[in-house]
Every structure is written in C-alpha cells, then in structure tokens.
Structure 1
C-alpha cells in the first residue's frame, strides 16, 4: 500500500474516533469541543472529508453549523512556492509573464485553492488550482465511504450505498476535471444569459486547463452579511431564490448542487439583489422526462389530487421498498410540498418537517430513504441549500404564487409511462383530510362551527383557547399527543377528540 494511502487511512481512523467522541459526548460543552476537533481534522484532509464537513456546516443545529462553518471558506492551504511551481508547469512559462500580481495567500477549499490575481490587461481574475495528488486521495475516500458516513448520522443506512458510491465517484471525477467544470460553467451561463438575477463568473479559457481554472473575479456579500440587509430587500431575494430554484430544476437542464456558503455570494445593485455562484464542479442534471415527472408529483401534492406513485417510479424510486408504505406516501408528499401550497408568508421555522415526517413514517422511515435513487442526493443537496438561505434571510414569503405557474406549465406535458401499472391501493391524495372542523353544541343547538385547512391540526395547541385546553388536559388528554396520533394515521379523516361538559358538547374532527 502506498505511503500516501496508508496515511490517509490513518486519517480516517482518526476521523472515526473524533466522530465517535461527538456522538458520545455527555455534555454540550464536550460535544462542541469534539465537533471543532472533528472539523479541524476534516479541513486538514481536504477531499471528501472536507466536503462532508461543508454539508454539515449547513445544519439546522446552530452549534453544529458553527463548528463546521470554517470549512466553507478556509482550510490548510498550499505554500505559495508550491503554487508558483504548479502554475508555471500548467502554463509553460514563468508566473510573472502571465499575471502582473497575485495574492500569495490562497483560499483553500476541498479539492483545490483559489488565488486572486491581476492580468497585464488590468482584469482581475480568480485562479483555482487543484491540489496535487487529490485524485488518489479521493479514490481512497470512496473506499472509506462507510467510515465517512459516521459523522453524518447513518448515511450508509439511508441510501443504496453501492449506487451512491458510483454516483459520487462520477461526480467527483467530473469535479476533478477543470476542463469539464469550465464547460459546465460556460453552459450554465449560457442557459441563464437572460436571467438578471444570476451572476456566473466568465471562464478565461486560454489560461484554464485540466487542473487550473481561471475566471473573472466577482465579489459579493456572504449570507451572514445579507441577513442584515433591509427586510424588503431580503423578501425580494427570498422570492427570487425560490423562483430560480424551481425554474432551474423544472425547465433548465441543471442546477448548482453544492450551495454551501463558500460557493455562494449575493450582490445588491440599485436595490435589486442578485445571486453570485462559484464552483460548478457539482451540478444536478435533469432530463425532460424527469422534470415532467417531478412537476407532476409536485402538482399532485400541491392540489392533493391523484396519486404520487407513478411520478415517483419514473423518478427512479424503488417500488419494492415503497410498496409497504404506499398508503403513507400522500401524507409524506403533502408535508414536503407544504411550503409550495402556502398562499401566505410561510415561516420555515414553524414547518417542523423532521418531527412530523418521523410521526407519519414511523418505522418505515428507513425504507423511504433507501427507496430513493442515488442521483436524488444532488437534488436534495440543492433543495437543502435553498432552505438554508431562506432560513438565514428570515423573510417569509408566499410560495404558491411563485411556484404554481412554473410547476403547472411543465406538469401538463407529463405522460405516465405505460409500463408502470402496479399502482398500490390507498396511494392517493384523496385519502387525506382536507378540513379540520370544530363544533360546539349546547342542548343540541350549534353555537360555534369552524372550518380550517387540515394542516392546522399541527397547530392544535395554539388553536384551542386556554380554558378549553385545561379542561381537555384535565381528562388526561394531551393536545400535542392528539396531533401526533393524527400524523401517525397519515392525516386521514376521523375524530380528533370530543368533550362533554354539562349541556355543552365539543367535537373536533378531520374530514
């Protein structure tokens, strides 16, 4: 075994030990120290460990995100003497003949590092240089994927690991080829050439090669800086991000899938926010049939009509794994699509998706995760990136007016594949409740009757006034438990609770 490979495997053993310290820490203080230690080691190793650390930096767990946030933009950089030698080898001439000046302190990333420089034309450029030997290191990384899943909390149990390894290997091979990345970046710019919201740095082709990528230098504000912009600007940015995301996945051929904060900046020009993207080595690509199936799935969930089964099958989900939980799929997709259906500003902090999905799926949650195709991971990374920035912006907006026209225009082209005929029973949005109803009767006469959207059941504790809540709880009934039970029955119609108090009868049910 080569010395470099042996050294890297030793690094993985250290990573696994550090990750174990995180999971077994018996106090918040020790957990923070352990996470910081793990992040430092991931940064020193570069490659896949640092990439995973960048994903972890976007966690909705604030302390975890802070521990890994340094991996977004910095890590152990190469000395400039090495950088100079590598660039001169790539360009075939002395560095001073190519650039007038260069920032010797590079910004290190997972697979390479970036230096700001000025050409003799006066143009400022970003020079991205690939780490020597990184390809061999990544081959070792892929062999250790099971180890690397440990700090992510069960990745190997969540996906078809062999397919995921193949997909990740192909993606990393593309990311290591800066010629391929340059073509992707140029194509991305071409696709969005009329989109004033998006800024894509221009590739300087004559200075770029397989391991050096040179682009125009574009600067912008970080998401933490943008979070301090005026609310009206942040709302506009939130709207534009949602529009960009759904337009990209449904009517463009690709979307940037590595949206950690080191790859994203924002620009404010004449009070109009813009999105600036770096690093196009990792993108999620879509075929038109995939886009149409995805649009059909989202539209069905948006209106709660039809069945999610056929679109899921056409997107590559495993019918054998989804079959046993088919009756839960309408509720699952309804939860995922909840922001899309909102006609009023939707606060992501109130979504509580993880908790509610856990209640709906129960012990089937692993089946659901394992049923997804490996390529879905890149789409999910992009989706997670969108949610991360919307939460940081803290400027809730109504999604439905933005996404409905985009989804509808693509979904109408969807024609289910004739080969998909084994649709399970009860896998239909018609099985879900549409309305939450509350009725108060006194001596048989209706005194109060309210009708709300069925999803209001998850806010039952806030809907019931305090005197009534105390009476319900005095009977040994927990409102939180009632909401959980409704989720566990996948939001199907039926009684939620009844209360008789003297001549007064109170009924709450779903229909």
Structure 2
C-alpha cells in the first residue's frame, strides 16, 4: 500500500466526515436535503468503499440514487482502450465497444459485440481501486471507538476483517467468475431466473466479459399494475429463499443496478441478476438454524432463543441481559415468515419496534452478532427495500413452504448448542398467540374478538373512537400498558379492563 494513497483516501474521508456533520447540524428540511445530496455526491466521486456506502444510503431515494450515479466519474474511453490493449495485446477482441459506460463503485461496464456477433457486457476494474479500498479499511481500523461502537462493545477488528474479505473477493474477477458460474448451476429449478453466461476465455484479472442480458429496472417496475408487481416480487422472494435457505450461497449486493426484469406476457416475467462479486456463503448449520428459528416461532416451540442465536454465531453472554425479550425481538425480526396472509414490508417497522421492546439495548443485541452477519442483514435489507418499492403484499410463508418444506425435517433435527444460564429461560412457547377482546354491552349482547398477538403493538389502532374516549376519561394509560406488554415479551397477561355505561370490556394476551 502506498503512503500517498493512504493520505489521499484519509483526506477524502475527512471531507465525508464533515459532510455528515453538516447533515446533523442542518436545521431545516431543505438544508438537510442539500447536505445529504452533497454527501452522496462526495461518496460517488470517491469510488470504492464510500460509493458502496452511498449505494446503501440512496437505495430508497430515486433522486439521491441518480445523484450518486451522476457523480461517479467514469474512466475516459481512451483510458479504457489503453487498459484493453495492455490486457489483450494488439489482437482485436471486440468488433464493437460502446464509448458510454455504466459506472459502479469498483469498475464500469461497456456494452459491445464480438466478432461472431455475440452481444457482450465488458466489466473493467478501475486502476488502483484495490489499494484505495485497503487504505480506507486500514483507516477504519485506526478510528477511535465512539458512540454505539464504544458503548456496546462492537468488535471493530472483526468488522474490518469481514469487510476486507468481502471487498477482496469483489476485487478479484477470478472469484467473481467462479461465483457466477456456480450460481448458474444452482439456480435451477427456478427457470425464470437468468444469470448471464460468462465468456471465460476472454476474462482477465481486471476484465470480465459476459453475454449481454437486457431488461428493465425497478424504476419502470414500480409503475406497473399491482398483479404485475406481485409477479415480479414473487420472483425476487423465490430467488432469495432458494439460494439462501437451500444452498447458503446468495447474492449479497442487492441494489437496483444489479437486477432487471424481462416481460414476456402480461403477468409473466424473468428476473435477471448482475454482478456476483459479493456473494454471501454461509455454512449448512447457519442456514438450517435460520429455518429452525422460523419454524420454532411459527409453532411456539419450547426452545431457548439463546440456543438458536448461538447456532448463528451470537455471543450468548451478551444475550443474557436481554434474554426475556428475545422471543419478542425474534418474532419481529422474522415476522413476514410467520404470517399466513400476504405481507407488505412497509408494515414491518423493524427498527421502531425494536426500540419499543428493548430501547437502546438493541445495540447490545446487534453487537452480540458475529461481524459476518452484517452481510446477511445487508442482503435482507436490500431485498426488502426493493420489495417496498414494488409496494405490494406478498405470500412469504406460502413461498417458503412451497420451495423449502422438504428441508424442514433437517432444520428440526439440527442440534442446537446448550447454553447455561442462572436466569429463567424464556422460550418461544412463552409468547402469547392472540390478543383477545371480550365486550358485554349494556343491552346484554356479547362480542368477542380474537386477533394475532402482534396487534398488541398498536392497541390504539384496534380500538374504536368511543372506546378510546372512555379510556381517556378513566385515565387508563394505553401507552404504558402497551410498553409493558412489549418489554415483557408479549407473554400472556391481562392488559386492561374497562367499565362504563355502554359496556364492560376486558382485553388480554392469551
């Protein structure tokens, strides 16, 4: 690593830090938007690790995503031509190569044509990008621990190693080629998922050549009819379920630029995936442990959540402090997999609900996770962000059962680690299944309602206006009652009783 490169990247990171400070200091919405746009543009101009961060930040904002793309300065076509000449010598490999490039964090893509007429996409790595990324990760290792990193004991060395392993694979086109070839072999029986074919003979350490596969992106997809968006959303879910839970080998850079759709009939589509530099590979024990948690939550099994999380690599000692809340936390984390009805990811509100259950201790939960798990969370976050843009409910549980029920027995047979504790063990069986409401009206009529226990997350939302008015008159603190239910992990309990001239009412978790 060159000292000059280190200082250059360090100075650039200082600029980025100042831009973040400007966002925090902004006092109006306009100031905040301008500061955030400036930060995104800086991230794009920086390439490498900063641009990766920019892709993550701008995933849900079209204007920021456009700003990021516009700010990445491409290599000139003259520079590209020189690289290709040094790579292939004087021989003419490409009959045609477009001068316009599609830029990304670590390289850029030019479309072209081979002598035999094959349409190709040629991916060319930026010169010196590897040393730039290494410099940034070195600087990251020197940064003083502050904020949640210091308070909650995050293992920064572990995160740096995990990031470097991920980036070193992305920077090695030989590894990316192996990923892409393996993906093409594993993706069947999902016939409507297209993985571009790599032309291995033409690939080099800094150049990747593959057959061109065109489609339209999320910008167009999100404007289509609900039934069409559901068809595309199902393809996304089926792909991730198949590759993550069956093979433990899944595309780990889910962003709009890395996928497209191709339409054949009104509601019939193909999903095309690009860029296999970042692929998450997890061991069989971990993918089966994920399924084991889902099945245990679904069936309210008498299993210790700490044992399940330990199988994923969590630190059981750290989890001791939040043990009573773990069934509730995990029910939020895996909620889409637990409901029979189609689920809309906008209803997830994961961060907000984690705050409601454990408050600041959510950082303790996160710091207990192994650093490598951050790439699984990035994968799932990217997937749900794209599903949110499609804005349709999807049958998560049905699709999981359809494609993976044959490996449920292996998940159930997984031997979980035994974790010793001096505390009471709170299992998945301890959680209430239902929120129940029983009303006896003044005329003697009785009304009983049964809802999923998760409705206790929003007690005001399930009460009609007249009941809420009576609750306020009797000074019943619904917020405090709801907070107690959340912090006790939604165990069976009476929430409140109400008696007035119109009704006698009882609400409880069962």
Q: What TM-score bracket applies, with the shorter chain setting the length?
A: over 0.9
1:45 maps to 46
Cα shift readout 1:329-377 (whole Å, capped 9, x = no counterpart):
1101111222112222222222222211111122321110001111111
- Preserved CA contact (<8 Å) 2:109 2:123: yes
8 Å CA contact retained: 2:179, 2:276: yes
Aligned length: 504
Match in the other structure for 1:370: 367
Gaps of 5+ in 2: none
TM-score (norm. length: structure 2): 0.92
- The aligned counterpart of 1:288 is 284
Q: Does 1:170 align with 2:168?
A: no
Q: Does 1:462 align with 2:461?
A: yes
Report the CA distance shift for 1:484/1:508 in structure 2 as closer, same or farther (over 3 A). Answer: same
Indicate yes or no: 2:33 matched with 1:32. yes
1:291 & 1:327 partners in 2: Cα distance?
A: 25
Tell me the residue number matched to 2:4.
Answer: 3
Displacement of 1:303 after TM fit?
Answer: 2.3
Provide the rounded CA distance (Å) in 2 between the counterparts of 1:25 and 1:482. Answer: 36
Identify which of 327, 331, 335 aligns with 1:330: 327
Aligned to 2:225: 230
The Cα shift of 1:466 comes to: 1.1
CA separation in 1, counterparts of 2:209 and 2:144? 33
Following the alignment from structure 1 to structure 2, what is the Cα–Cα distance between the partners of residues 198 and 337? 25
What is the TM-score of this pair, normalised by structure 1?
0.92
Residue in 1 aligned with 2:123? Answer: 128
Shift of 1:402: 1.4
Give the distance between the partners of 1:174 and 1:26, measured in 2 at CA. Answer: 41
In structure 1, the gaps of 5 or more residues are none
Does the aligned pair in 2 maintain the 1:257–1:284 contact within 8 Å?
yes
2:354 counterpart residue number:
357
Answer yes or no: is 1:341 the counterpart of 2:342. Answer: no
Partner of 1:195: 190
Distance 1:34 1:285 in 2: 37
| CA distance 1:203–1:418, shift in 2 (3 Å) | closer
- Secondary structure of the residue aligned to 1:268 is strand
- 1:274 matched to 2:270? The reply is yes
CA distance in 2, matches of 1:460, 1:140: 51
1:497 to partner: Cα distance = 1.7
CA positional deviation for 1:215: 0.7
* Aligned equivalents of 1:147, 1:54: Cα separation in 2: 24
Q: CA deviation at 1:120?
A: 1.3
Deviation of the 1:186 alpha carbon? 0.7
Given that residues 316 and 419 in structure 2 are in contact (C-alpha distance below 8 angstroms), is that contact kept between their aligned partners in structure 1? no
- Any residues of structure 2 matched to 1:72-471 within 5 Å, and which? 75-94=72-91, 97-145=92-140, 159-271=154-266, 272-307=268-303, 308-406=305-403, 408-414=405-411, 415-417=413-415, 420-422=418-420, 425-441=424-440, 447-471=446-470
* 1:129–1:213 Cα contact (<8 Å) kept: yes
2:6–2:136 contact (8 Å) kept in structure 1: no
- TM-superposed CA distance for 1:440, in Å, is 2.0
Separation in structure 2 between the aligned mates of residue 178 and residue 382 of structure 1, nearest angstrom: 21
3-state secondary structure, aligned to 2:337: helix
Distance 2:495 2:109 in 1: 58
- Cross-structure match for 1:18: 19
* Partner SS state of residue 144, structure 1: helix
Output the aligned Cα RMSD: 2.5
Residues 79-125 of structure 1: per-residue CA shift (max 9 Å, x gap): 1111111111111225xx11121111212111111111111111111
- Find the aligned partners of 2:181 and 2:454 in 1 and give their Cα distance: 44
